[in-house]
Structure 1
C-alpha cells in the first residue's frame, strides 16, 4: 500500500509542478503578447496565448512519444538562416503548418486537426525570440515517462477554469481574483478529468 501511495503522491507532485510552470508561462505569454501587439485586444491575446501553448504542449508530448521527430521544438527554436535572418516565431509558424499539412522533408505527418489549422491572426502576431525560448523550455520535460496522458488531462482541464478567471480579470481590472459569473465552460460542457490516482 505504501508503494501505491508514494506513486500517487509522486504523480500529484508532478502534476502540480508542471501545471504551475505551465500556468506561469500562460501569464507571461499573455502579458508579452499584449505588450508587443497593442492593436490586439487583451481578450484575444489571452486566446492566442492559450492556442500557442496548447500547440507547443501537444508537440512536446508528441515528440517524446514518437509521434513527431525527436527535438522538434528545439530544432524550430535553434534553426537560423544566416543569409536571411528572421524572427524565431516564423520557425514555429512553419512548424505549426507542417503539423497541420504534413512535411516529408521534416518527417512530419499531416495531423489535419483543428488545433493546428491555419489562423491568420496568429500569423500576424509579433512574438519575441525571448518568448519563443520559453516555448522551447516546455520541450525539455520528459513527456515519455514523467508527463503522462493523465498529467496532460489535468493541464487541459485546469486551463479552462484559469482562462475564464484571467478573462474575467481583464474585463474587470479593479477586481482581484474574480470568478466568472456565468456557468463555467467546464460545467457547461461537462469537462472533468479524473486522475488515475482517484
Structure 2
C-alpha cells in the first residue's frame, strides 16, 4: 500500500480488462460506513452541523460513522453513532438504502438506516464529544423541508441527500420499501 492511514488506505491494483489490456487503478480502501435517518413521531429528521475539513466547511448531515470496530454489526454501529452524535436512541430500525458513495475512487459501502421510536439518551450516559464533534448539535427538521433543502442545493453530503430522499419515497409508499437490518449487503467487504 502506498499510504496507510488511521481510517483509510490507498490501494493500487493491476486489473486485467481483457481486450482493453491491463490497467493500474488506485483507490481509497475504506472500512465502510453507516448513516441514520432518525425520524421522530412528528415527522422530523435529525440533522447535525459538522465541520468537514476536506471541503473546509460546516455541513448539515445525518448522524453517521465508520464501520471501524471489528465484528460490530452495522445496525449496532448505527445505533452507537446515533447515541454518540445526537444523544438519541431508537427502538425501531430498518434499512432504507445501500450506497457506494464514490465507486470510481473508493470501495466504501454505506448503509442508510431508518431509526424510529426515538428516546433521549439520559444525561449521565451521554457520550463526551471531542474535536470537530464537540459542538455538534442535533436539529429536528421536517422531513419534507430537509428534502427541499437537498433539492435546492443546501445539503451536500451524498449519503445524507440519498437517505432523506429515500425516506420521503419510503414514507410515500407506506414504508413498503424498507428492509430488515439483517438484509444482505452487496459490496460490503467485512
Q: Same fold (TM over 0.5)?
A: no
User: Higher strand fraction: Structure 1 or Structure 2?
Assistant: 2
- Shorter-normalised TM range: under 0.3
User: Higher helix fraction: Structure 1 or Structure 2?
Assistant: 1
